[in-house]
């Protein structure tokens, strides 16, 4: 079943148990308005028509992720024509540049295949960009990175799109392709190094982390990491020595001053004590480039590979965050992922951990993230069709974490090509709209009104009250925005607008009960407005500046966005 689905551009992770864009990445720029709202699994070629695409537009979506048999020039051209007639955009999927097999084990399409695809679509007014692979393993990322860069060279005005696995695919890292590597032993006569480039505007390197087998470290053995200006080692910038490690991804503290967008060289050496051998120090296999703008070295000679490393991060090797980190290192146009949390057996306890990781890597990489929204049931994987409250919950929890785009999975209920087990998508296989279509249309209308504000916001922090989900942080007691009854399950997220105004989004983290929530703002700002989900304008609230108290009613799973206007500039204050 999964191979059939994969062939047509749909990849639904089997849950075995429960189980601003880089300034140097691309000429593509994300839209400010409207907020990106997409659908995945559009009508198949036999149902492609202006009328069918009008239904997508009427759902208040604005783009389509190709799939469901839309995979050739003729089929995509028909879809693009129907999209243009309804003011929609399409992320096209073409079989020559999108099947997972093309990118397996570091492979990639040929330049001529990429160029032919891009030249065919690039001038189409309904083109949003190019779908590459859905849920790739890490072994596919080097080839995907090459294809993205080639497409950018040929068509800098349109984006490329890859959707990542959720963290439910993580067990032991095997499903994510993180253990396809080799390595080097380090001794007094065998040193290893790596060139890399700093980010634009970067001024410091606090730490460098490497993947080193800690069990090979014996008493007295030391590893020294030196940061040089280049492999020629004319100028030593910083160094640090470790006498052991408690993890396989130790960090060397360098605290070095550096220049942005500049190449540097780090080198690891051994002090010759003990058995004079530590390793492996993990690197990619020959010919595989995990990272951009760098190369691995052994005894001063480049080896056409990359050592695993992080700069100013603490990432567990072989983990889901490592998987996301490696993709961010390829500099995608957006960071997209899917996590479908509503199961027949209950709510996924890994949902917020996934959001925390995606948000963190998105911010570190300077890349907007888009989230898939569960909108279908899938019996073999214990996934239920969400209720209206659950759909609302997904949208507002993702917005609270700073998502800059959402995509519904699925629009059409799969079945056109013999897929089984799917039920209750937004639209039935025969084209009949399910109740969830109207739920999505109404929620999308709200998001579109909030969109012009949301797209300009920088996410600062995300906190929770009530029982804390895994990997989340409790709302601090000295925060400028307090939930008076902290036992209530909420999210409180803070943002900064491009005008310097502070924004707070509050989400009722309850999918069953509506709640009236009361908030205390101890520093009593001058005014608190709400960004209206009906008009997009700031409207009055019942905030009392003399008491600092505000209250609002929330439907199950609902979020509200508030703007705080204050002249106060001080710690923990708006």
What are the sequence ranges of the domains in the chain?
Answer: 2-175+319-454, 182-311, 458-565
Residues above pLDDT 90, as percent of the chain: 87
pLDDT at position 33 over 70? no
pLDDT at position 2 over 50? no
Residues above pLDDT 70, as percent of the chain: 92
pLDDT of residue 9: 39
Q: How far is CA 562 from CA 25, 375, 519, 522, in A?
A: 32, 28, 12, 16
Q: Rounded mean pLDDT of 407-429?
A: 94
* Each residue's pLDDT tens digit, 269-283: 999 999 999 999 999
In Å, how far from its chain's centre is CA 258?
28
Residue 517: strand pairing partners: 552
pLDDT at position 30 over 80? no
**How many whole angstroms separate alpha carbon 340 and alpha carbon 326?**
22
Q: 574 pLDDT band (50/70/90 cuts)?
A: low
Q: Which fold would CATH assign to domain 182-311?
A: Jelly Rolls (2.60.120)
pLDDT at position 12 over 60? no
Residue 520: strand pairing partners: 482, 549
Q: 172 pLDDT band (50/70/90 cuts)?
A: low
* Each residue's pLDDT tens digit, 93-148: 998 888 778 888 778 899 999 999 999 999 999 999 999 999 999 999 999 999 99
Q: 6 pLDDT band (50/70/90 cuts)?
A: very low
Residue 153: strand pairing partners: none
Which range of 22-31, 161-170, 415-424, 468-477 scores highest in mean pLDDT? It is: 468-477
Torsion, CA 424, CA 428, CA 433, CA 436, rounded to 10: 20
Q: Rounded mean pLDDT of 395-423?
A: 95
Span 458-565 CATH architecture = Sandwich (2.60)
Q: What is the mean pLDDT of the chain?
A: 92
**How many whole angstroms separate alpha carbon 161 and alpha carbon 136?**
12
CB distance 357 to 321 below 8 Å: yes
Superfamily (CATH H level) for 2-175+319-454: Glycosidases (3.20.20.80)
Q: How many CB atoms lie within 10 A of CB 567?
A: 7
Q: Is 327 exposed, middle or buried (0-12, 13-18, 19+ CB in 10 A)?
A: buried
DSSP string, 79-112: HHHHHHHTT-EEEEE-TTT--HHHHGGG----HH
Q: 15 pLDDT band (50/70/90 cuts)?
A: very low
**How many whole angstroms separate alpha carbon 251 and alpha carbon 266?**
13
Model pTM score: 0.94
* Each residue's pLDDT tens digit, 342-363: 999 999 999 999 999 999 999 9
pLDDT of residue 28: 56
Q: How far is CA 492 from CA 135, 223, 548, 567, 573, in A?
A: 30, 44, 17, 22, 14
**How many whole angstroms separate alpha carbon 142 and alpha carbon 466?**
42
pLDDT of residue 524: 95
Torsion, CA 261, CA 264, CA 268, CA 269, rounded to 10: -160
Q: Rounded mean pLDDT of 377-381?
A: 94
Higher pLDDT, 32 or 76: 76
**How many whole angstroms separate alpha carbon 278 and alpha carbon 212?**
8
Domains 2-175+319-454 and 182-311 share a fold: no
């Amino acid at each position: 079943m999964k191979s059939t689905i994969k062939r047509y551009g749909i990849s639904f992770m089997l849950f075995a148990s429960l189980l601003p864009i880089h300034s140097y990445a691309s000429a593509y720029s994300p839209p400010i308005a409207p907020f990106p709202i997409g659908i995945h699994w559009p009508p198949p070629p036999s149902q492609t028509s202006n009328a069918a695409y009008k239904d997508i537009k009427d759902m208040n979506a604005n783009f389509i992720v190709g799939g469901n048999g839309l995979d050739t020039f003729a089929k995509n051209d028909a879809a693009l024509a129907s999209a243009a007639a309804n003011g929609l955009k399409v992320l096209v999927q073409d079989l020559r540049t999108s099947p997972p097999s093309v990118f397996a084990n570091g492979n990639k399409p040929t330049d001529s295949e990429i160029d032919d695809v891009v030249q065919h679509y690039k001038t189409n007014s309904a083109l949003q960009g190019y779908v590459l692979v859905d849920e790739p393993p890490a072994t596919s990322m080097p080839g995907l990175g090459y294809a993205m860069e080639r497409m950018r060279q040929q068509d800098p005005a349109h984006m490329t799109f890859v959707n990542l696995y959720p963290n439910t695919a993580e067990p032991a890292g095997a499903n994510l392709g993180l253990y396809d590597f080799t390595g080097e032993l380090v001794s007094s006569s065998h040193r290893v190094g790596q060139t890399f480039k700093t980010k634009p505007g970067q001024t410091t390197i606090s730490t460098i982390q490497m993947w080193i087998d800690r069990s090979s470290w014996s008493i007295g053995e030391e590893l020294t990491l030196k940061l040089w200006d280049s492999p020629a080692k004319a100028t030593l910038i910083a160094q640090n020595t470790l006498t052991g490690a408690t993890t396989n991804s130790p960090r060397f503290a360098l605290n070095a001053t550096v220049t942005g967008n500049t190449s540097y060289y780090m080198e690891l050496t051994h002090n010759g004590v003990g058995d004079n051998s530590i390793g492996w120090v993990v690197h990619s296999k020959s010919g595989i480039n995990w990272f951009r703008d760098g190369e691995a070295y052994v005894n001063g000679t480049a080896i056409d590979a990359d050592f695993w490393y992080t700069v100013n991060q603490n990432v567990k090797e072989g983990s889901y965050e490592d998987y996301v980190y490696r993709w961010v290192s390829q500099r995608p146009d957006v960071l997209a992922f899917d996590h479908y949390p509503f199961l027949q057996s209950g709510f996924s306890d890994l949902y917020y951990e996934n959001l925390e990781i995606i948000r963190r890597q998105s911010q570190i990489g300077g890349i907007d993230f888009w989230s898939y929204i569960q909108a279908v049931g899938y019996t073999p994987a214990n996934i239920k069709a969400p209720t209206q409250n659950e759909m609302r919950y997904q949208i507002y929890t993702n917005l609270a974490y700073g998502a800059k785009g959402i995509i519904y999975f699925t629009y059409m209920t799969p079945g056109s090509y013999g897929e089984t087990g799917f039920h209750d998508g937004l639209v039935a296989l025969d084209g009949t709209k399910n109740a969830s279509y109207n739920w999505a249309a109404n929620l999308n209308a709200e998001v579109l009104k909030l969109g012009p504000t949301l797209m300009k916001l920088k996410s600062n922090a995300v906190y929770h009250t009530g029982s804390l989900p895994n990997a989340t942080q409790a709302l601090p007691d000295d925060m400028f925005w307090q939930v008076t009854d902290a036992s209530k399950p909420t999210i409180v997220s803070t943002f900064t607008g491009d005008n310097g105004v502070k924004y707070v989004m509050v989400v009722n983290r309850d999918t069953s009960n509506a709640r009236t929530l009361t908030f205390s703002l101890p520093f009593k700002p001058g005014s608190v407005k709400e960004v209206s989900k009906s008009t997009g304008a700031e409207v009055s609230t019942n905030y009392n500046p003399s008491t600092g108290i505000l209250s609002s009613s929330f439907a199950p799973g609902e979020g509200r966005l508030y703007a705080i206007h204050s002249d106060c500039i001080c710690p923990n204050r708006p």
